[in-house]
Amino acid sequence: MAGMEEDLLPHRESQDDARLEEERRLCYVGITRAQRSLTFTLAKRRKRYGEWQPCEPSRFLQELPEDLLAWQGVGVEVPEETKKQRGRDSLAQLKAMLQG
């Protein structure tokens, strides 16, 4: 799921309680559609109105059980062999999807 950042999911226009619950429901639907694994992506910063703005992870990520998340990226050390194995696993999943 792309754009797991505050102001994107939940959208900045959806900060009242009813709209926030609808955004949470949409996020939940996206999560439950994953069959084997799910990758969330978020940007460290985005360009808005010609200026770089820092991004914060979506509050919805904080609501997920920490033991089910494996963070990687800036500030997270992942051993090289683990990265390679994740790449091989992802490639194998893509091949299986295309063949089946």
Q: Where are the domains of the chain?
A: 17-99
* Residues 40 and 57 sit within 8 Å (Cβ to Cβ): no
In the prediction, which pLDDT does 90 show?
85
The one-character DSSP state at 89 is: H
pTM: 0.70
pLDDT in tens, 53-89: 999 999 999 999 988 888 877 677 778 898 889 889 8
The fold adopted by the segment(s) 17-99 is Double Stranded RNA Binding Domain (3.30.160)
Average pLDDT over residues 42-59: 93
- Alpha helices in 1-100, H assignment, sequence order: 17-32, 59-62, 80-99
Q: Which two tokens stand for residue 49?
A: 């109105």
Provide the percentage of residues in the chain whose pLDDT is more than 70.
99
d(C-alpha 73, C-alpha 6), whole Å: 18
